[in-house]
A = this chain, B = another copy of it.
Amino acid sequence: MIHITRRERFNAAHRLFRDDFTDEKNMEVFGKCSNPNWHGHNYELYVTVKGEINSETGFLVNLKTLSKVIQSKVIVKLDHKNINLEVDFMKGKLASTENLAVGIWKEIEESVKNIGTNLHCVKVIESENNYVEYFGPA
Contact = CB atoms under 8 A, between A and B. Distances in A.
Interface of A: 1-9, 11-14, 16, 18, 29-33, 35, 37-42, 48, 53, 56-60, 62-64, 79-82, 85-86, 93-99, 101-102, 127-135, 138
Given A93-B58, A95-B58, A127-B11, A85 B37 contact: yes
A18 B2 CA distance: 22
A52 B80 CA distance: 27
A135 B50 CA distance: 11
A112 to B, nearest CB: 16
Given A58-B94, A98-B58, A81 B35 contact: yes
B41 A38 contact: no
Contacts of A13: 13, 37-40
Majority secondary structure of chain A interface residues (helix, strand, loop or mixed) = mixed
A58 B6 contact: no
Given A7-B129, A93-B58, A133-B5, A37 B82 contact: yes
B3 A63 contact: no
A10 to B, nearest CB: 9
